[in-house]
Chains A and B, each alone.
Chain A
Amino acid sequence: MEYRLNFYGPLEELFGAHGTIQLQEGILFSELRNQLEGVFKGLDAYPYTLAQDGAMKSDEEELSTGVIEVFPPFSGG
């Protein structure tokens, strides 16, 4: 299934605001992380958090069908 991705901050500058990725349904977020880093070169250099359906997801949780949000921490103040 094709999933839509939203990138934020410096990740948006690297990969664009939106992207897509082909994934098997129901995989764990830990596996999603591996697949994202395989497709989006350079992503692994950044700390980032994944969210879906309005909530941050831990590595042990399963992917649903919603848009995947990929956001790094910001440091400016």
Chain B
Amino acid sequence: MSTRYDRHMKLKGWGAQAQEQLQTAHAVVVGAGGLGSAVLPYLASAGVGKISIVDNDRVSLSNLQRQVLYTEKDISHLKAEVAAEKLSALNSDIELVVLSQPFEAHTAENIIDGCDLVIDCTDNFRTRYLINDACVRADVPFVFGALYTYSGQMAVCNYKGSATYRCLFKEPPTDAVIPNCSEIGVFSPLVALIGSLMAAEVLKVLAGLESVQTGRLITYDLLAHQQHTFAFKADVKAIARIKSLKCIEPIALNDCGWNDQTLYLADLDTLKDPLFIDVRDLKEVPFVKHASVVKRSSDQLLQRDEQLFEGKRPLVLFCASGKRARHSAMKIERENVYYLKEEIEDFIHYLNQMKHD
């Protein structure tokens, strides 16, 4: 066995068999953002034999505060591709599969087919419930982690018949009352903490250790340094219902922030003379002043501002995080209308660079 894994091999309870199990394991990591950045290096360095990275997002400037896998030169590049490149440099003995695509109901079962474990590092409820349902149907364990400002949650689910995410949170939200990191911020060390807890459980599951913390929600508040653990039981009826469905049914809430109208900064150069529409409130800061930017409220747009819609000039809606812009773009349902899934600071940085080019 390689000296690379010597410090794990010396651990009481680990040994050659555990290491071999890791090397033949296939883990699917959904989301290569904050939690993904924290989890992935530990899986690669520990020698998990095959890691699939699922993420269709691109690196942006505001990611770098907590997504420590990426650097400034990675901005605008696909996260899954960059992550695989970095992890390959860390451990060239493992297989890395890049899946720069969203995790959707019609692709979920193919993506996790044959894997040993799924790691939920997503930032939205729609994907989180999809992962749950796909894993329940395929009888694959999964580890989820989630963040809220200074607090985080994590749990091992569906492991050897244990409880699932739906057993813990039965009803998915019908509206996005709980905002994500782009709206309320996140304390960067929290990402590392929850990511490390997740990585620990992943390695324990894959290496076959007996101390897997399954059926327990672990919460951590980094402001007060308080940790709580809540046991939760399998809801047999809820699990049976998911297994009996003909196909995976996504929850009604669509908070994953991606559809055919989605644009990232890297996509903007493919558009011919786009007009950018600021749909934020009139007095909302930072102000964005640029020749190709106009301000229109969502209401004005929905009342069909015909001057704007004349001709075939691409219209790109933007707001502070992409959420309101997406909402408006979806309602307009018109060809050549897109929304920017980027944070305002990154967009301003892009416009400033345009001025200098």
Contact = CB atoms under 8 A, between A and B. Distances in A.
Interface string B205-235: 0000000000001010100000011111100
Interface string A17-59: 0000000000000000000000000000111010100111010
Contacts of B124: 75, 77
A58 B237 CA distance: 13
A76 B186 contact: yes
A22 B335 CA distance: 57
A9 interface: yes
Contacts of A77: 31, 33-36, 121-124, 145-147, 180-181
A69 B33 CA distance: 30
Counting chain A residues whose Cβ lies within 8 A of the other chain, the interface size class is 20 to 34
Given A47-B172, A51-B230, A75 B145 contact: no
A47 B173 contact: yes
Main SS class of interface, B? mixed
Contacts of B175: 45
Among B34, B148, B170, the one with the most A-chain Cβ atoms within 10 Å of its Cβ is B148
B298 interface: no
Contact of B178 (A55, A56, A72): A72
A66 interface: no
A54 B181 contact: no
Given A54-B229, A54-B230, A76 B177 contact: no
A55 B219 CA distance: 13
Nearest to A50: B230
A56 B231 contact: yes
B171 A47 contact: yes
Contacts of B35: 77
A73 B33 CA distance: 19
A15 interface: no
Given A8-B219, A76-B148, A77-B34, A46 B177 contact: yes
Contact of B231 (A45, A55, A76): A55
Contacts of A69: 228, 230
A56 B219 contact: no
Nearest to B163: A56
A46 B179 CA distance: 11
A55 B232 contact: yes
Interface in B249-291: 255
Contact of A46 (B178, B180, B255): B178
B19 interface: no
A74 B178 contact: yes
Contact of A74 (B36, B153, B232, B233): B153
A10 interface: yes
Contacts of A74: 146-148, 151-153, 178
Contacts of A9: 148-149, 151, 178
B124 to A, nearest CB: 6
A57 to B, nearest CB: 9
B339 interface: no
Given A9-B148, A10-B178, A73 B173 contact: yes
Contact of A75 (B33, B125, B230): B125
Contacts of A8: 151, 219, 221
Interface of A: 8-10, 45-47, 49, 51, 54-56, 58, 69, 71-77
Given A47-B169, A69-B230, A76-B180, 11 more contacts: A10-B177, A46-B173, A73-B125, A73-B153, A73-B168, A74-B146, A75-B125, A75-B146, A75-B178, A77-B121, A77-B145
12 contacts: A8-B219, A9-B148, A10-B148, A47-B172, A49-B169, A51-B230, A55-B232, A72-B178, A73-B173, A75-B148, A76-B146, A77-B36
Return the 9 tightest CB-CB contacts between A and B, nearest first.
A77-B123, A76-B147, A74-B146, A56-B232, A76-B181, A74-B148, A9-B148, A55-B231, A73-B169
